[in-house]
Structure 1
Amino acid sequence: MGETIRWGVLGASKFARELMGPAIHTAPGHALAALATRSPQKAAPFAAMAPGLQVYDGYAALLEDAAIDAVYIPLPHHLHIEWALKALEAGKHVLVEKPVALRADQIAPLIAARDRTGLQCAEAYMMVHHPQWQRLRALLAEGAIGRLRHVEGVFTYDNSADPGNIRNQAEMGGGALPDIGVYTYGATRWATGAEPEAVTHADIDWEDGCDVLARVAARFPGFTAHWVNSMRLLPEQLMLFHGEAGLIRLTAPFNPRVFGEARLELRDRSGVTRIETWPGADHYRLQVEAFGAAIRGAAAFPWTLEDARGTQAVIDMAYAAAGGRPPA
């Protein structure tokens, strides 16, 4: 591999076009070099952004390109494991969109392939790269709010007017929990360093085999958590960490700059609320840079496949507590 890490993207998704493609293109030491899509129309914006982009009409053809060092996979959820495994076998480092899999036990073969090949393979869980989350984690660790007793998480949006969206297709791994439950659940785990002992309540509304509104509660060692995730409610984002001596609120925890300002509010018994903001932070670009550092051996990537498996295990627990997923 040369000094510049050359990336290929499997699939011309809107997310790749608007967020991860530009992040790869602008990150120092990285280059958006190839795209796999059969649609010239979908390839055009990528080619305009990255002149010289090599466009392949199939995923396998891109993986055969020896000049590509790393692959980003934003395919529909049910294809993630298959193509991540193929990319590793082709000798590529792999950054695969969340959720890596649709069940926790599906991730084991990918972990084994990562370990066997010695290549980097991780879930694109961008929020852990944002300084607001790193600051929150540090504050919790130093006891800024005293003993943590409860976490409240909300992430909702409404795509009811788009029935063809893959998030509304059960056979493609659709549903609110695979799409955005990974954030409220994983954020709680990552920020606290704790794992749930049990899911104590799960009330889920279903449409055509997809969970569209999930209200889930869990018990962790020393604290409780309650999460609301929906694809049928007015858009909202909030994470609240409530302790005996204070509380911390993140008002745009998952996609700041799109939903709102990256803002951390810390209030303690003095009644004073301290506010920190990060208006210029781009967690997608920070994620690319962190992945590059891991490839080069300069730093460990902060979100592993094991971390992703832990969050998927909580989603599996929520589905089980609600009586299981209905047939697609």
Structure 2
Amino acid sequence: MSSKLAWGILGTGRIAGVFAKGLANSETGTLVAVGSRSQEAADAFGAQWSVERCYGSYEELLADEQVQAVYIATPHPQHAQWAIRAAEAGKHILCEKPIALNHAEAMAIVEAAQRHQVFLMEAFMYRCHPQTQMLRELLQAGTIGDIRVIQATFSFNAGFNPESRLYNNALGGGGILDVGCYSVSMARMIAGIANGKDFVEPTQVSAVGQVGSTGVDEYTVASLSFPGGVLAQLFTGIQVNGDNNVRIFGSKGSITIQSPWLPERGQAYLLVEKNGQSEKIDVESEVDLYGNEADTVATYLEQLQAPAMSWEDTLGNMQTLDRWRKAIGVVYEAEKPEGKTLTVSQRPLRVRSDASMKYGNLPGVEKPVSRLVMGVDNQTEWPHASVMLDDYFERGGNCFDTAFIYGGGACEKLLGQWIANRGIREQVVILGKGAHTPYCTPEWIVKQLDISLGRLRTDYVDIYMMHRDNPEIPVGEFITVLNEQKKAGRIRVFGASNWSIERLQEANQWAAEHGLTGFSALSNNFSLARMIDPVWAGCISASDASSRAWLTEHNMALMPWSSQARGFFTGRAKPEDHSDPELVRCWYSEDNFQRLERVNQMARERGILPITLALAYVLNQPFPTFPLIGPRALSETRTSFEAVNITLTPEEVRWLNLEA
């Protein structure tokens, strides 16, 4: 670098001082500013570490144009807020571990870094150290044979102090987040090496632990299973001293790291035991632990992430920490929905100025309806639901698909809670569904709608869909009760999900003959990939030529589910890969793989993802479509939204569908 990277430190606690000391030994960085919640604390820190500019607020530091990178050293619950705001300010980010309270917040941070194209790394300094690199090389070389068992410990006895950060639930206290994150990251890395990768995720996480009176984990042990038969035992705590080492047992020997987390300068080494003999392998480690971490940031600045701790690695680590906490019942107050009116950035919810969503109209629904509809069928916990729904709304989405049966009612409750917390009922369109088999009767439409409205905390849904059909009941009975609910103001318009075209025609004809309103929309499966076998019993597709012709002729709005063929176009589907039996059963066919080839070809030509192009196919039909999407991660939402701005000609649509 031609000049040193100008750093600012956000926070003035103990770890901020540790990093400031390390930065002084960095080859690439210099400390130019510090921000605190008070001017007094900032000045005191500045005097101690000879900092030029001292700010009494974090906002002032982020507004300093001379600051290029920030080290976030605030308590855990504030990481997400300030990392996101740092990204918005165009600052590169080194965030103290854990990067957030949970996986959902971590996703929001990563998305902010991606959107604003800034560097982001979670501050696992040991990952940047030569000792860890030496460990990688020994394991990759098969020094101890096949990796079988990992033991990793990071635990200390802080003594019980309910006023301490470590014991404060509101500050994300406990051992798992404070130091257990190290053990998890090490185990995932080692198991990854065993599987020929940088890291892998555990297939199973079980744990026992002592949760104290303040609601945080005081000490706990976790057992993890990884692909390839690798097992890990992890021990962490804040109320008991541990050995704080790492041992890896293989088929031909073992490796012990006596100081894996805080290797001292000039004293790093690995102990290899094989065939009854021990070998001490010294590691050249004259680098300063934290200064070297800062140098790692500078080295990979243009790549936006460093191999030592990539974004995907961080997200996987947070997900495992979530699973560990869940196994012993630790939930933070910040993760509960009550009173949570702000987004993870601690701002009121609003649509972003750069949102590019497009909208359509459904007769009878007074609000414009976003062309992409958010499926709320997998949201059962507040942290994940709130982050996913906030992001969708911020991108311009306003229509939410839910159903009486989703999550046993949990999905409706969380959606209702989120809408109430954010105060946006009149800004959103709720697509609710009920009367699923075996409760597909006029009576159950009313009963389930009563319950759904209570869960959703509203007195009406904008669009109501019958979730299934019941051919044994005359269409007139369904049309009659749906019109009664519409007249009562409990629904604005109604439609049919998984109804045949013939049955829908019959219903609408009956409605017209009796001066009543008919179905305004259809919600059947529709995607570029042909559904070979129904995903669920009673499901119906509208992807065939005759259904498409009817929808075009009648200009009927289609709100299709599985609009992206449940991942068929993500790269998971290969003729020789039968590891996902549901994907094989529902979507594997010769013609679908021909469509996949064409999607891949056009996607390469356009420089977009195949899954995005497949969704664009659904959006570019000659009849109105409002595809339902079901992202599990913010990255999936992002790539789905890119489809809204892709235009396909009628000829291209036919070519993708093997019609030209």
* Same fold? TM cut 0.5: yes
Q: Is the 8 A contact 2:125 2:289 kept in 1?
A: yes
Amino acid corresponding to residue 175 of structure 1 in structure 2:
G
Deviation, structure 1 residue 323: 4.0
Amino acid corresponding to residue 313 of structure 2 in structure 1:
D
Q: Is the 8 A contact 2:117 2:304 kept in 1?
A: no
For residues 145 and 75 of structure 1, do their structure 2 counterparts lie closer, same or farther at Cα, with a shift above 3 Å needed?
same
Equivalent residue number for residue 14 of structure 1: 14
Q: Is the 8 A contact 1:96 1:123 kept in 2?
A: yes
SS, match of residue 259 in structure 2: coil
Amino acid corresponding to residue 50 of structure 2 in structure 1:
A
Deviations 1:133-166 (A, max 9, x none): 1111111111110011100111111112543321
Deviations 1:79-99 (A, max 9, x none): 000000001101111111111
- Note the 1:195-206 alignment, pairs <5 A: 195-199=201-205, 201-206=206-211
Q: Is the 8 A contact 2:28 2:294 kept in 1?
A: no
Range 267-276 or range 229-238, more displaced? 267-276
Range 234-243 or range 78-87, more displaced? 234-243
Deviations 1:274-314 (A, max 9, x none): 33245633221111001011225599452122211111111
* In structure 2, C-alpha distance between the alignment counterparts of 1:162 and 1:2, rounded to whole Å: 48
Range 291-300 or range 62-71, more displaced? 291-300
Q: Is the 8 A contact 2:169 2:332 kept in 1?
A: no
* In structure 2, C-alpha distance between the alignment counterparts of 1:327 and 1:22, rounded to whole Å: 34
Q: Is the 8 A contact 1:7 1:31 kept in 2?
A: yes
- Note the 1:143-162 alignment, pairs <5 A: 143-162=142-161
Equivalent residue number for residue 124 of structure 1: 123
Equivalent residue number for residue 294 of structure 2: 288
Equivalent residue number for residue 107 of structure 1: 106
* In structure 2, C-alpha distance between the alignment counterparts of 1:107 and 1:318, rounded to whole Å: 16
Larger radius of gyration: 2
SS, match of residue 105 in structure 1: helix
* In structure 2, C-alpha distance between the alignment counterparts of 1:298 and 1:76, rounded to whole Å: 24
Amino acid corresponding to residue 206 of structure 1 in structure 2:
V
| Higher RCO (C-alpha under 8 Å, 6+ residues apart) | 1
Q: Is the 8 A contact 2:153 2:242 kept in 1?
A: no
Amino acid corresponding to residue 57 of structure 1 in structure 2:
G
Equivalent residue number for residue 76 of structure 1: 75
* In structure 2, C-alpha distance between the alignment counterparts of 1:27 and 1:271, rounded to whole Å: 38
Equivalent pairs, count:
324
Amino acid corresponding to residue 207 of structure 2 in structure 1:
A
Amino acid corresponding to residue 112 of structure 1 in structure 2:
E
Note if 1:168 corresponds to 2:167: yes
Note if 1:211 corresponds to 2:217: yes
Deviation, structure 1 residue 270: 5.0
* In structure 1, C-alpha distance between the alignment counterparts of 2:28 and 2:106, rounded to whole Å: 30
For residues 74 and 273 of structure 1, do their structure 2 counterparts lie closer, same or farther at Cα, with a shift above 3 Å needed?
same
For 1:245, which of 236, 249, 252 is the aligned residue? Answer: 252
Amino acid corresponding to residue 211 of structure 2 in structure 1:
W
Deviations 1:81-132 (A, max 9, x none): 0000001101111111111111112222222211111110111111111111
Equivalent residue number for residue 274 of structure 1: 280
Q: Is the 8 A contact 1:107 1:305 kept in 2?
A: no
SS, match of residue 309 in structure 2: coil
Amino acid corresponding to residue 84 of structure 2 in structure 1:
L
Equivalent residue number for residue 306 of structure 1: 312
Q: Is the 8 A contact 1:12 1:43 kept in 2?
A: no
State the TM-score, normalizing by the size of structure 1: 0.92
SS, match of residue 162 in structure 2: coil
Q: Is the 8 A contact 2:62 2:89 kept in 1?
A: yes
SS, match of residue 26 in structure 1: coil
SS, match of residue 205 in structure 1: strand
Q: Is the 8 A contact 1:251 1:261 kept in 2?
A: no
Note if 1:85 corresponds to 2:84: yes
For residues 244 and 235 of structure 1, do their structure 2 counterparts lie closer, same or farther at Cα, with a shift above 3 Å needed?
closer
SS, match of residue 94 in structure 1: strand
For residues 263 and 117 of structure 1, do their structure 2 counterparts lie closer, same or farther at Cα, with a shift above 3 Å needed?
same
Amino acid corresponding to residue 218 of structure 1 in structure 2:
L
* In structure 2, C-alpha distance between the alignment counterparts of 1:326 and 1:12, rounded to whole Å: 24
Deviations 1:192-236 (A, max 9, x none): 32321101x311111211101011101112211101101011253
Equivalent residue number for residue 225 of structure 1: 232
* In structure 1, C-alpha distance between the alignment counterparts of 2:166 and 2:251, rounded to whole Å: 38
Equivalent residue number for residue 50 of structure 1: 50
Deviation, structure 1 residue 10: 0.9
Q: Is the 8 A contact 1:133 1:191 kept in 2?
A: no
SS, match of residue 189 in structure 1: helix
Q: Is the 8 A contact 1:157 1:236 kept in 2?
A: no
Unaligned runs of 5+ in 1: none
Equivalent residue number for residue 98 of structure 1: 97
For 2:271, which of 254, 265, 269 is the aligned residue? Answer: 265
Q: Is the 8 A contact 1:123 1:308 kept in 2?
A: yes
Deviation, structure 1 residue 15: 1.2
SS, match of residue 237 in structure 1: coil
Unaligned runs of 5+ in 2: 193-199, 335-660
Deviations 1:226-264 (A, max 9, x none): 011010112531100000101000011111239x94331
Equivalent residue number for residue 178 of structure 2: 179
Amino acid corresponding to residue 44 of structure 2 in structure 1:
A
Amino acid corresponding to residue 63 of structure 1 in structure 2:
L
Q: Is the 8 A contact 1:9 1:36 kept in 2?
A: yes
* In structure 1, C-alpha distance between the alignment counterparts of 2:309 and 2:14, rounded to whole Å: 24
Deviations 1:1-24 (A, max 9, x none): 97221111111111111x211222
Q: Which has the higher strand share?
A: 1
* In structure 1, C-alpha distance between the alignment counterparts of 2:164 and 2:10, rounded to whole Å: 18
Range 291-300 or range 64-73, more displaced? 291-300
Note if 1:321 corresponds to 2:362: no
Amino acid corresponding to residue 212 of structure 1 in structure 2:
E
For residues 246 and 46 of structure 1, do their structure 2 counterparts lie closer, same or farther at Cα, with a shift above 3 Å needed?
farther
For residues 5 and 178 of structure 1, do their structure 2 counterparts lie closer, same or farther at Cα, with a shift above 3 Å needed?
same
Q: Is the 8 A contact 1:180 1:229 kept in 2?
A: yes
Amino acid corresponding to residue 78 of structure 2 in structure 1:
L
* In structure 2, C-alpha distance between the alignment counterparts of 1:105 and 1:211, rounded to whole Å: 20
Q: Which has the higher helix share?
A: 2
Q: Is the 8 A contact 2:151 2:247 kept in 1?
A: yes
